[in-house]
Amino acid sequence: MRARPPVPRKALVKFKSVMDVELVQQLAADEMVCMAARVSTIGNTPQTYTREKNAGLINFLMRDRHGSPFEHGSFTFRISAPIFVCREFMRHRAGMSYNEESGRYRELEPVFYVPPGNRPLVQVGRAGKYDFQPGTFRQDLVAGEALRMAYTEAWTQYQTMLGEGIAREVARTVLPVGTYSTFYVTCNPRSLMHFLSLRTKSDGATYKSFPQVEIQMVADQMEEHFKTHMPMTHDTFVKHGRVAP
């Protein structure tokens, strides 16, 4: 007695291999870092400083990990990514604010993550020290087909339940963690650097991190915006081993 709705509501399942990261608003400037830092030494008598002085100060703050002056500002991003990426992202608590699309309040979209062709599929090494290698031709085929089959079946069953009048919050339990979701996140420059230090893999990092490729696809785009709006801060962040101050 399996019930399928006569007319599928959203029939077309879409597969997607990229992460959308849009900078919605920002209030960020290297000068603000300096202004905040200098209150400790100049108190109630703000002055103007040269670009060189500012660069020197930011270098000192970053190197010696004086983090608080990097908190005066904010970046708001609008991100679309698979749920498993949202999950890793939202483990970041300090200095991070979130609002996300709700599977309780709306019918989700049939958009699912499929790894891009150059995504290495095979893991070598052990927990905490992974390396990845490209998949064989066969592995690529199997992964592609398995993902598409599971996603399609999940979507079909989701639609079946919705078609029968079952609540979205119950029906959505079949949707896979590869389903795309959209959220807003606001962070400050310091919490952004903390995020980047953990969610990017870099040879220049003092403390090596092994993020999943997919969250790095998000992080890399965020870092570009960070670099654009706070070039001095970003420079010294990279120079001092990507250790969040």
At its nearest, how many Å lie between a second copy and the CB of residue 174? 4
Integer Cα distance of 28 and 82 in angstroms: 28
Catalytic residue from among 38, 172, 199, 242: 199
Active site residue 168: no
At its nearest, how many Å lie between a second copy and the CB of residue 223? 19
Cα–Cα distance list, 70 to 25, 32, 166, 213 (Å): 17, 8, 48, 27
Integer Cα distance of 46 and 183 in angstroms: 38
At its nearest, how many Å lie between a second copy and the CB of residue 149? 6
Q: Which is nearer to a second copy, 74 or 202 (CB)?
A: 74
Q: Which is nearer to a second copy, 36 or 238 (CB)?
A: 36
Whether 179 contacts 108, CB under 8 Å: yes
Q: Which is nearer to a second copy, 164 or 224 (CB)?
A: 164
At its nearest, how many Å lie between a second copy and the CB of residue 206? 9
Q: Which is nearer to a second copy, 227 or 240 (CB)?
A: 240
Integer Cα distance of 196 and 178 in angstroms: 22
Integer Cα distance of 208 and 200 in angstroms: 9
How many Cβ atoms from other residues are within 10 Å of residue 101's Cβ? 16
* Residues designated catalytic: 199
